[in-house]
Amino acid sequence: MSQMPSFRGRWAEAAGLAVVRRTGVGLDRRRRLVRRWTLVGYCAALGAVLSACGPHSGSQAGMALAIEGEPIAYGDFESYSRRQLGGEELALDGVVESRLLDRFIDERLVVRLARDRGLTRQSEPLDQQDAISFLLRDQRRARVTEERLRSYYDQHLARYQRPAGVWLCQILVDDKQRAAAAYQALQEGEPFVEVAARFSQGPKAQQGGDQGRLAKEDLPPEFVDVIFHLEPGEFSQVVVADYGLHIFQVKAVYAAEVQPFEDVVDDIRQELLRLQVDEIVDGFFAEARKRYNVQVFSLNLPFDYQGSFSYDTQDTP
């Protein structure tokens, strides 16, 4: 039969339980922490209670992680996390905290990789963006061949299809009298651009009410039939809607088409270069993870670590 714990032991267990509850750790880990505090007795528990007056007190007892055996304090990650959240104090769950910690570690690793490749002085301040810039400069410049551009275009033709549409201008006013005056000016032959500049209250009035090229899907359903029955240069009658009175003019009509390769080749080149750079940067992170030994001391964290780096199940030494 097990012995009843002493008064001091029971007090220590209760005090330890109160502390770990405040840290928000999971039940199983709470029990492990409670057992640990109970074993060291009254003095150790009292020390834990006193230290609990500070934020994340459990994390201050030891290091949060080590890279190649070099310790990194939890406070460094805490400062990083606060910056990522715009300085706000938010209650995050263990999954989100774990992802933030993994990102923090990855940034430390890629900075170390840039330094170990001799791309910058060891003492020079360096953040992730600087490190990636140095690593990319050291990389052979990304190139995209004409063949690759053509191949991408052929494989993504649907992306470059443009539906049938019109080049549309409009006059938008908020009362019938103003709409009637604008319509009368158009019937008398005044150019639509000038009438729009004089009468329209829409945001593009001074640009002649120019709305650009629009497909049926871009328009409110109640306007589609009116607009798509207009010939180039023709203007509509006054159209009443919930949000104003409109007069439309179609400047041009376009059939459905596939944009020519020559019109989109620059966009394709930029997209492929971006994808190449992303792949290269992903390679930097993968190389750094493989090259450096990382250990997360999860029992020193005030959340349940669920990230992708190896972590301890015992106290840090």
- Would the CA dihedral through 201, 204, 210, 211 be positive or negative? negative
* Distance from C-alpha of 26 to C-alpha of 202, rounded to nearest angstrom: 58
Q: What single-letter DSSP state applies at residue 235?
A: B
Report CA dihedral (235, 241, 244, 246) to the nearest 10 degrees. 0
> Which fold would CATH assign to domain 64-159+262-317?
Triger factor/SurA peptide-binding fold (1.10.4030)
Task: Taking residues 104-120, report their average pLDDT.
Answer: 88
- Model pLDDT for residues 273-302, shown as the tens digit of each residue: 889 888 888 988 899 999 999 999 999 999
* Distance from C-alpha of 114 to C-alpha of 117, rounded to nearest angstrom: 5
**How many CA atoms does the CB half-sphere of 141 hold within 13 Å?**
2
pLDDT of residue 200: 97
Q: What's the Rg (C-alpha) of the chain?
A: 33
Average pLDDT of the chain is: 80
> Which fold would CATH assign to domain 164-255?
Chitinase A; domain 3 (3.10.50)
Residue 234: band (very low, low, confident or very high) from pLDDT cuts 50, 70, 90: very high
Question: Is residue 35 a contact partner of residue 66, using CB atoms and an 8 Å limit?
Answer: no
Model's pTM, two decimal places? 0.52
pLDDT of residue 99: 94
DSSP annotation string for 138-193: HSPPP---HHHHHHHHHHTGGGGEE--EEEEEEEEESSHHHHHHHHHHHHTT--HH
User: How far from chain centre, in Å, is Cα 219?
Assistant: 30
Percent of all residues in the chain with a pLDDT value above 90, rounded to a whole number: 56
Angle, CA of 93, 99 and 103, to the nearest 5°: 145
- Model pLDDT for residues 64-83, shown as the tens digit of each residue: 999 999 999 999 999 999 88
299, two tokens = 């029992």
- Nearest residue to 168 (alpha-carbon basis) of 89, 116, 109, 228: 228
